[in-house]
């Protein structure tokens, strides 16, 4: 799948600094952001062809397991055009968190995603707290610290 959808026109609402705006809502097969109000939501954008995504899934499984009871919900939004591509990925790399599907790519556009994987943290009040592009195992500790801080707000 080409990344062309990631480079299209982006809504002005997300151009402000994270924390200053409400996170763009999504209503997708698998998850609705409005239903998660009151939780801290780690939104991950992924695709079956994304090699670093294979490494990020165990991290997200651990996050959900460690912090789910404190109010964290991991939602991974797949952008594959064919759901069977996502299913093949998930058969090899299982997810212990919510999977949603956006084959048209509207949600990554709304979040200004520039590459795969990318993640966003949405506070309990629906504010976009931060965005992150890529996945590097060396950054896992910093990402988890930010999540813990959001859970304490």
**Tens-digit pLDDT profile for residues 18-69:** 566 999 999 999 999 999 999 999 999 999 999 999 999 999 999 999 999 9
pLDDT bucket at 82, cuts 50 / 70 / 90: very high
| Res 70 pLDDT > 60 | yes
CA distance 120 to 122: 6
Phi and psi torsions of 138, nearest 5° = -70, -20
User: Which residues on neighbouring strands pair with residue 28, listed in sequence order?
Assistant: 31
153: pLDDT confidence band, cut at 50, 70 and 90?
A: confident
What domains lie within the chain, and their CATH numbers? 17-152 (3.40.30.10)
**Percent of the chain's residues with pLDDT above 90:** 83
Q: What is the largest CA-CA distance in the chain?
A: 39
């Amino acid at each position: 799948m080409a990344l062309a959808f990631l480079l299209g026109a982006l809504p002005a609402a997300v151009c402000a600094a994270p924390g200053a705006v409400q996170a763009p809502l999504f209503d997708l097969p698998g998850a609705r952001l409005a239903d998660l109000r009151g939780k801290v939501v780690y939104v991950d954008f992924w695709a079956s062809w994304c090699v670093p995504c294979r490494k990020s899934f165990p991290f997200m499984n651990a996050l959900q397991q460690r912090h789910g009871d404190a109010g964290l919900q991991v939602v991974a939004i797949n952008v594959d055009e064919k759901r069977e591509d996502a299913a093949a990925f998930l058969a090899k790399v299982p997810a212990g968190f919510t999977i949603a599907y956006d084959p048209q790519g509207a949600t990554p556009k709304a979040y200004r995603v520039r590459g795969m994987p990318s993640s966003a943290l949405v506070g309990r009040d629906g504010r976009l707290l931060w965005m992150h592009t890529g996945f590097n195992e060396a950054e896992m500790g910093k990402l988890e610290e930010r999540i813990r801080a959001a859970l304490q707000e």
